[in-house]
Amino acid sequence: MKLALVGDIGGTNARFALWRDNQLESVQVLATADFPGVEQAIIAYLEGLGLAVGAVHAVCLACAGPVSGDLFVFTNNHWRLSRSAFCRDLQVDELLLINDFSAMALGMTRLQDHERVQVCPGTAEADRPAVVVGPGTGLGVGTLLGSAEAGWQALPGEGGHVDLPIGSPREAQLWQELYRLNGHIRAEDVLSGGGLLLLYRALCALDGHTQTLKSPAEITAAALAGDQVAGAVIDQFSCWLGRVAGNNVLSLGGRGGVYIVGGIVPRFAELFLRSGFAKSFAEKGPMSKYMVDVPVWLVTAEYPGLMGAGVALQQVLEHHDQEGNV
Protein backbone atom coordinates (compact mmCIF):
# COMPACT_ATOMS: atom_id res chain seq x y z
CA MET A 1 0.00 0.00 0.00
CA LYS A 2 1.31 3.45 -0.91
CA LEU A 3 2.05 5.95 1.82
CA ALA A 4 1.71 9.69 2.36
CA LEU A 5 4.58 11.94 3.43
CA VAL A 6 4.59 15.31 5.19
CA GLY A 7 7.36 17.86 5.60
CA ASP A 8 7.94 21.04 7.57
CA ILE A 9 10.80 22.94 5.96
CA GLY A 10 12.64 25.82 7.58
CA GLY A 11 15.84 27.66 6.89
CA THR A 12 18.16 25.27 8.72
CA ASN A 13 16.23 22.04 9.08
CA ALA A 14 13.68 20.01 7.14
CA ARG A 15 11.45 17.72 9.18
CA PHE A 16 9.88 14.75 7.41
CA ALA A 17 7.48 12.04 8.50
CA LEU A 18 5.22 9.40 7.04
CA TRP A 19 1.51 10.07 7.51
CA ARG A 20 -0.56 6.97 8.15
CA ASP A 21 -3.85 6.43 10.02
CA ASN A 22 -4.00 10.12 10.92
CA GLN A 23 -0.67 9.95 12.74
CA LEU A 24 2.98 10.82 12.21
CA GLU A 25 5.48 7.99 11.83
CA SER A 26 9.28 7.87 11.48
CA VAL A 27 9.98 11.56 12.10
CA GLN A 28 13.45 12.63 10.98
CA VAL A 29 15.17 16.01 10.89
CA LEU A 30 17.63 16.69 8.04
CA ALA A 31 19.86 19.72 7.53
CA THR A 32 18.87 21.66 4.41
CA ALA A 33 22.53 22.53 3.78
CA ASP A 34 23.27 18.83 3.19
CA PHE A 35 21.10 18.56 0.07
CA PRO A 36 20.87 20.51 -3.21
CA GLY A 37 17.08 20.38 -3.14
CA VAL A 38 14.00 19.05 -1.40
CA GLU A 39 13.71 16.08 -3.80
CA GLN A 40 17.15 14.81 -2.84
CA ALA A 41 16.37 15.25 0.87
CA ILE A 42 13.14 13.26 0.54
CA ILE A 43 14.88 10.49 -1.44
CA ALA A 44 17.50 10.23 1.33
CA TYR A 45 14.73 10.13 3.95
CA LEU A 46 12.91 7.35 2.09
CA GLU A 47 16.10 5.36 1.51
CA GLY A 48 16.82 5.54 5.24
CA LEU A 49 13.48 3.80 5.80
CA GLY A 50 14.15 1.22 3.10
CA LEU A 51 11.59 2.79 0.75
CA ALA A 52 12.02 3.50 -2.94
CA VAL A 53 10.84 6.40 -5.07
CA GLY A 54 7.19 5.79 -5.85
CA ALA A 55 6.37 4.37 -2.40
CA VAL A 56 4.71 7.67 -1.48
CA HIS A 57 1.62 8.73 -3.44
CA ALA A 58 0.79 12.02 -1.68
CA VAL A 59 2.98 14.72 -0.13
CA CYS A 60 2.25 17.88 1.86
CA LEU A 61 5.10 20.32 2.46
CA ALA A 62 4.80 23.27 4.82
CA CYS A 63 7.06 26.06 3.53
CA ALA A 64 7.84 29.59 4.70
CA GLY A 65 6.47 32.23 2.34
CA PRO A 66 3.56 32.79 -0.05
CA VAL A 67 2.67 29.62 -1.99
CA SER A 68 1.36 29.95 -5.58
CA GLY A 69 2.19 28.82 -9.13
CA ASP A 70 4.41 25.96 -10.27
CA LEU A 71 7.73 27.29 -8.96
CA PHE A 72 8.31 27.82 -5.25
CA VAL A 73 11.51 29.44 -3.96
CA PHE A 74 12.20 28.76 -0.29
CA THR A 75 12.74 32.01 1.58
CA ASN A 76 15.23 30.82 4.22
CA ASN A 77 17.38 28.33 2.30
CA HIS A 78 18.77 27.65 -1.18
CA TRP A 79 16.09 25.17 -2.28
CA ARG A 80 13.72 25.67 -5.23
CA LEU A 81 10.78 23.45 -6.13
CA SER A 82 8.84 22.96 -9.35
CA ARG A 83 5.55 21.21 -8.61
CA SER A 84 5.47 19.41 -11.95
CA ALA A 85 9.11 18.26 -11.77
CA PHE A 86 8.71 17.17 -8.14
CA CYS A 87 5.70 14.98 -8.93
CA ARG A 88 7.44 13.49 -11.97
CA ASP A 89 10.77 12.78 -10.26
CA LEU A 90 9.27 11.33 -7.07
CA GLN A 91 6.34 9.60 -8.82
CA VAL A 92 3.86 11.46 -6.61
CA ASP A 93 0.16 11.74 -7.51
CA GLU A 94 -0.68 14.57 -5.12
CA LEU A 95 1.52 17.46 -3.95
CA LEU A 96 0.11 20.00 -1.53
CA LEU A 97 2.22 23.06 -0.66
CA ILE A 98 1.00 25.18 2.24
CA ASN A 99 2.35 28.14 4.16
CA ASP A 100 4.33 27.04 7.20
CA PHE A 101 2.11 28.94 9.60
CA SER A 102 -1.01 27.56 8.00
CA ALA A 103 0.44 24.17 8.93
CA MET A 104 1.32 25.43 12.40
CA ALA A 105 -2.25 26.67 12.89
CA LEU A 106 -3.71 23.34 11.78
CA GLY A 107 -1.31 21.60 14.15
CA MET A 108 -3.09 23.27 17.07
CA THR A 109 -6.13 21.09 16.37
CA ARG A 110 -4.19 18.00 17.44
CA LEU A 111 -2.51 19.28 20.61
CA GLN A 112 -2.60 17.13 23.72
CA ASP A 113 -3.12 18.77 27.12
CA HIS A 114 0.47 18.07 28.15
CA GLU A 115 1.76 19.88 25.03
CA ARG A 116 0.63 23.35 26.09
CA VAL A 117 1.01 25.56 29.17
CA GLN A 118 -1.59 28.17 30.06
CA VAL A 119 -0.24 31.72 30.06
CA CYS A 120 -3.50 33.67 30.37
CA PRO A 121 -6.70 32.07 31.69
CA GLY A 122 -9.92 32.20 29.72
CA THR A 123 -12.44 30.26 27.71
CA ALA A 124 -11.92 29.77 23.98
CA GLU A 125 -15.01 30.57 21.90
CA ALA A 126 -15.37 27.66 19.51
CA ASP A 127 -16.95 29.69 16.69
CA ARG A 128 -14.29 32.41 16.69
CA PRO A 129 -10.80 32.48 15.09
CA ALA A 130 -7.75 31.36 17.03
CA VAL A 131 -4.44 33.17 16.59
CA VAL A 132 -1.07 31.41 16.30
CA VAL A 133 2.08 33.49 16.83
CA GLY A 134 5.58 32.06 16.68
CA PRO A 135 8.97 33.72 17.20
CA GLY A 136 11.73 31.66 15.61
CA THR A 137 14.10 32.40 12.74
CA GLY A 138 11.44 34.99 11.88
CA LEU A 139 8.01 35.77 13.30
CA GLY A 140 5.15 33.68 11.97
CA VAL A 141 1.48 34.53 12.40
CA GLY A 142 -1.42 32.28 11.41
CA THR A 143 -5.17 32.10 11.93
CA LEU A 144 -7.25 28.98 12.56
CA LEU A 145 -10.93 28.78 11.61
CA GLY A 146 -13.60 26.11 11.60
CA SER A 147 -14.11 22.84 13.42
CA ALA A 148 -13.47 19.13 13.13
CA GLU A 149 -17.02 18.64 11.86
CA ALA A 150 -17.03 21.35 9.18
CA GLY A 151 -13.32 21.10 8.36
CA TRP A 152 -10.42 23.18 9.61
CA GLN A 153 -9.17 26.16 7.63
CA ALA A 154 -5.94 28.05 8.20
CA LEU A 155 -5.52 31.53 6.79
CA PRO A 156 -1.98 32.32 5.61
CA GLY A 157 -0.61 35.80 6.12
CA GLU A 158 2.51 37.82 6.71
CA GLY A 159 1.62 39.24 10.12
CA GLY A 160 5.20 39.05 11.33
CA HIS A 161 6.04 41.98 9.06
CA VAL A 162 3.67 44.49 10.66
CA ASP A 163 5.23 47.55 12.30
CA LEU A 164 6.42 47.03 15.86
CA PRO A 165 3.80 48.55 18.22
CA ILE A 166 4.81 51.10 20.85
CA GLY A 167 2.89 51.05 24.12
CA SER A 168 4.91 53.17 26.56
CA PRO A 169 7.47 56.02 26.69
CA ARG A 170 10.16 53.42 27.48
CA GLU A 171 9.27 51.44 24.38
CA ALA A 172 9.34 54.65 22.34
CA GLN A 173 12.92 55.24 23.51
CA LEU A 174 13.89 51.68 22.71
CA TRP A 175 12.23 51.97 19.30
CA GLN A 176 14.44 54.99 18.52
CA GLU A 177 17.55 52.95 19.34
CA LEU A 178 16.27 50.04 17.29
CA TYR A 179 15.61 52.37 14.37
CA ARG A 180 19.11 53.83 14.67
CA LEU A 181 20.58 50.33 14.54
CA ASN A 182 18.30 48.76 11.94
CA GLY A 183 16.14 51.29 10.11
CA HIS A 184 12.46 50.43 9.68
CA ILE A 185 11.36 48.17 12.54
CA ARG A 186 8.94 45.33 11.91
CA ALA A 187 7.65 43.06 14.66
CA GLU A 188 9.88 40.31 13.24
CA ASP A 189 12.97 42.49 13.65
CA VAL A 190 12.59 42.16 17.43
CA LEU A 191 10.46 39.04 17.91
CA SER A 192 12.88 36.49 16.48
CA GLY A 193 16.22 34.92 17.31
CA GLY A 194 18.18 37.70 15.65
CA GLY A 195 15.73 40.19 17.12
CA LEU A 196 16.62 39.14 20.64
CA LEU A 197 20.22 40.17 19.95
CA LEU A 198 19.13 43.43 18.29
CA LEU A 199 16.95 44.26 21.30
CA TYR A 200 19.88 43.55 23.63
CA ARG A 201 22.08 45.95 21.66
CA ALA A 202 19.41 48.63 21.75
CA LEU A 203 18.78 48.26 25.47
CA CYS A 204 22.49 48.39 26.26
CA ALA A 205 22.89 51.52 24.13
CA LEU A 206 19.92 53.21 25.79
CA ASP A 207 20.91 52.38 29.36
CA GLY A 208 24.68 52.64 28.97
CA HIS A 209 25.53 48.97 29.58
CA THR A 210 28.60 47.32 28.08
CA GLN A 211 27.64 44.71 25.49
CA THR A 212 29.18 41.39 26.50
CA LEU A 213 26.68 38.86 25.08
CA LYS A 214 27.11 37.81 21.46
CA SER A 215 24.20 35.53 20.59
CA PRO A 216 20.55 34.85 21.41
CA ALA A 217 21.62 31.67 23.22
CA GLU A 218 24.00 33.67 25.45
CA ILE A 219 21.27 36.19 26.25
CA THR A 220 18.83 33.43 27.20
CA ALA A 221 21.41 31.62 29.32
CA ALA A 222 22.41 34.83 31.11
CA ALA A 223 18.79 35.71 31.82
CA LEU A 224 18.12 32.25 33.25
CA ALA A 225 21.25 32.65 35.42
CA GLY A 226 19.89 35.89 36.88
CA ASP A 227 21.70 38.55 34.81
CA GLN A 228 19.59 41.71 35.17
CA VAL A 229 20.31 43.19 31.74
CA ALA A 230 19.58 39.93 29.93
CA GLY A 231 16.50 39.50 32.11
CA ALA A 232 15.28 42.96 31.07
CA VAL A 233 15.75 42.00 27.42
CA ILE A 234 13.66 38.83 27.87
CA ASP A 235 10.95 40.77 29.67
CA GLN A 236 10.77 43.46 26.97
CA PHE A 237 10.75 40.79 24.27
CA SER A 238 7.80 39.17 26.06
CA CYS A 239 5.97 42.49 26.42
CA TRP A 240 6.29 43.22 22.72
CA LEU A 241 5.13 39.70 21.92
CA GLY A 242 2.10 40.37 24.08
CA ARG A 243 1.29 43.59 22.22
CA VAL A 244 1.59 41.91 18.82
CA ALA A 245 -0.52 38.93 19.90
CA GLY A 246 -3.16 41.25 21.36
CA ASN A 247 -3.25 43.34 18.19
CA ASN A 248 -3.95 40.20 16.18
CA VAL A 249 -6.81 39.26 18.51
CA LEU A 250 -8.39 42.67 17.90
CA SER A 251 -7.80 42.56 14.13
CA LEU A 252 -9.16 39.04 13.67
CA GLY A 253 -11.72 38.80 16.43
CA GLY A 254 -9.50 36.05 17.80
CA ARG A 255 -11.52 35.03 20.84
CA GLY A 256 -10.81 31.41 19.98
CA GLY A 257 -7.58 31.86 21.91
CA VAL A 258 -3.91 32.49 21.21
CA TYR A 259 -1.16 29.89 20.78
CA ILE A 260 2.47 30.95 21.26
CA VAL A 261 4.63 28.57 19.22
CA GLY A 262 8.15 28.40 17.82
CA GLY A 263 11.49 27.40 19.25
CA ILE A 264 12.44 30.53 21.18
CA VAL A 265 9.96 31.13 24.01
CA PRO A 266 9.98 27.56 25.42
CA ARG A 267 13.70 28.03 26.13
CA PHE A 268 12.87 30.63 28.78
CA ALA A 269 9.35 29.49 29.64
CA GLU A 270 9.60 30.23 33.38
CA LEU A 271 10.77 33.80 32.73
CA PHE A 272 8.07 34.23 30.09
CA LEU A 273 5.33 33.18 32.51
CA ARG A 274 6.56 35.79 35.01
CA SER A 275 7.05 38.52 32.40
CA GLY A 276 4.89 41.45 31.37
CA PHE A 277 3.38 39.47 28.49
CA ALA A 278 -0.10 39.13 30.01
CA LYS A 279 -0.34 42.81 30.94
CA SER A 280 0.83 43.95 27.51
CA PHE A 281 -1.47 41.47 25.81
CA ALA A 282 -4.56 42.83 27.55
CA GLU A 283 -3.55 46.52 27.60
CA LYS A 284 -5.68 47.90 24.74
CA GLY A 285 -7.10 51.15 26.11
CA PRO A 286 -10.89 51.36 25.61
CA MET A 287 -10.85 47.86 24.08
CA SER A 288 -9.16 46.22 27.06
CA LYS A 289 -12.49 44.69 28.11
CA TYR A 290 -12.53 42.80 24.81
CA MET A 291 -9.34 41.00 25.84
CA VAL A 292 -10.77 39.68 29.10
CA ASP A 293 -11.15 35.90 29.15
CA VAL A 294 -9.17 35.35 25.91
CA PRO A 295 -6.97 32.33 26.75
CA VAL A 296 -3.32 32.17 25.79
CA TRP A 297 -1.21 29.01 25.72
CA LEU A 298 2.51 28.37 25.27
CA VAL A 299 2.89 25.34 23.01
CA THR A 300 5.59 22.82 23.88
CA ALA A 301 4.72 20.13 21.30
CA GLU A 302 7.76 18.87 19.40
CA TYR A 303 6.42 18.77 15.81
CA PRO A 304 3.22 20.86 15.52
CA GLY A 305 4.05 22.01 11.98
CA LEU A 306 4.45 18.43 10.78
CA MET A 307 1.20 17.46 12.46
CA GLY A 308 -0.55 20.40 10.79
CA ALA A 309 0.79 19.36 7.39
CA GLY A 310 -0.71 15.94 8.05
CA VAL A 311 -4.09 17.46 8.98
CA ALA A 312 -4.06 19.54 5.77
CA LEU A 313 -3.20 16.52 3.63
CA GLN A 314 -5.78 14.33 5.36
CA GLN A 315 -8.54 16.84 4.64
CA VAL A 316 -7.57 17.00 0.95
CA LEU A 317 -7.42 13.21 0.58
CA GLU A 318 -10.76 12.75 2.35
CA HIS A 319 -12.30 15.38 0.07
CA HIS A 320 -11.01 13.50 -2.99
CA ASP A 321 -12.48 10.26 -1.60
CA GLN A 322 -15.87 11.94 -1.13
CA GLU A 323 -15.79 13.28 -4.68
CA GLY A 324 -14.92 9.82 -5.97
CA ASN A 325 -17.87 8.31 -4.14
CA VAL A 326 -20.41 10.81 -5.49
Tell me if 4 sits within 8 A of 313, measured CB to CB: yes
Is 12 labeled as ligand-binding?
Answer: yes
Residue 194 known to bind ligand: no
Answer yes or no: is 143 a known binding residue: no
Q: Say whether 11 counts as a known binding-site residue.
A: yes
Tell me if 7 is assigned to a ligand binding site.
Answer: yes
Backbone angles phi, psi at 8, to 5 degrees: -130, 110
User: Is 9 a known ligand-binding residue?
Assistant: yes
3-class secondary structure for the chain? Answer: CCEEEEEEECCCEEEEEEEECCEEEEEEEEEHHHCCCHHHHHHHHHHHCCCCCCCEEEEEEEECCCCCCCEEECCCCCCEEEHHHHHHHHCCCEEEEEEHHHHHHHHHHHCCHHHEEEEECCCCCCCCCEEEEEECCCEEEEEEEEECCCEEEEECCCHHHCECCCCCHHHHHHHHHHHHHHCCCEHHHHCCHHHHHHHHHHHHHHHCCCCCCCCHHHHHHHHHCCCHHHHHHHHHHHHHHHHHHHHHHHHHCCCCCEEECCCCHHHHHHHHHCCCHHHHHHCCHHHHHHHCCCCEEEECCCCHHHHHHHHHHHHHHHHHHHHHHC
> Binding site membership for ATP: which residues?
7-12
> Binding site membership: which residues?
7-12
